[in-house]
Amino acid sequence: MGRVSGKMAFITGGAQGLGEATARMFAREGAKVTVTDVNGAGAEAVAASINEAHGAGTAFAWQHDVTDADRWQEVLKEAHDAMGGLNVLVNNAGIGSLGSVEDENYETFKHVQAVDVDSIFLGCKYAIPLMREHGLGSIINISSIAGIIASANYVSYNTAKAAVRHISKSIALHCAKSTGGQIRCNSVHPVFINTPILDRTKEMFGEEEALAKLGRQIPLGKVGEPDDIAYAVLYLASDESKLVTGIELKVDGGISA
């Protein structure tokens, strides 16, 4: 028995990075997974490789831009029907932007909120009714340590990821009451993790120096790997965490201690 055997999970931004690592770990631990991404070909490649490893019908993929509000309900229903249900939603898709309040362009600010925050409102709004059919359910929203610790040059990202932290608590309280304690909602707050999101920093400093520079800011002394986050998401998706809702799980090497 895997730790999420019988679960049916929907993961956004699953074509690479943390979403891909989570989808692969869920499949190894017995779940069916749907991977969506604005990069549809990338999502399909991840699903195909999971099916090769774990058998046809383990993974499904759809192209979906999480800012496309009209498509959310449809894609969730398609995934629900393909997997035979839905009981885990991982709102992972997210983007960052570098800029202070004076430098940042207003359109960029709004776009970061749309990808990182509005997507969570929409995903939860339409997933919860489908999840109610299947007993215990879990929503995991990927925030960031930047949702807890602010910096001058991340005004859009700081704002968005702090909102992810709080919308998760509101949804947790709503679900606790309205689903008779069946559906939970939590946020996860990674520190720097070695995924393509760090590509720009690697271009600026070279890969080795970029990772060392970021690692020096973390008390545990190193940048994380995608599975460090996938393990946290796995715990929150599994029934091992059935009494856990409304928390902010920091996977941050001690940076916020």
Interface mask (CB under 6 A) for ligand NAD, residues 211-250, using x and -? ----------------------------------------
The conformation of residue 152, written as its DSSP 8-state character, comes to T
Count residues binding ligand NAD (CB under 6 A). 29
**CB of 256: closest distance to ligand NAD in angstroms?**
12
User: Considering only CA atoms, which of 94, 40, 93, 46 is closest in space to residue 63?
Assistant: 40
Distances from the Cα of 200 to the Cα of 31, 60, 64, 150, angstroms: 33, 30, 24, 20
Environment class of residue 31 by beta-carbon count within 10 Å: exposed (0-12), middle (13-18) or buried (19+)? buried
Q: Does 39 engage in binding with ligand NAD (CB under 6 A)? A: yes
Binding to ligand NAD (CB under 6 A) within 109-168 occurs at 115, 142, 144
For the chain, give percent helix, strand, coil, nearest 5. Answer: 50, 15, 35
Helix (H, G, I), strand (E, B) or coil at 200: helix
Letter for the amino acid at 171?
I
Interface mask (CB under 6 A) for ligand NAD, residues 2-21, using x and -? ----------xx-xxxxx--
Catalytic site positions: 157
Q: Does 90 engage in binding with ligand NAD (CB under 6 A)? A: no
Which residue ranges make up the site for ligand NAD (CB under 6 A)? 12-13, 15-19, 37-39, 42, 65-67, 92-96, 115, 142, 144, 190, 192-193, 195-198
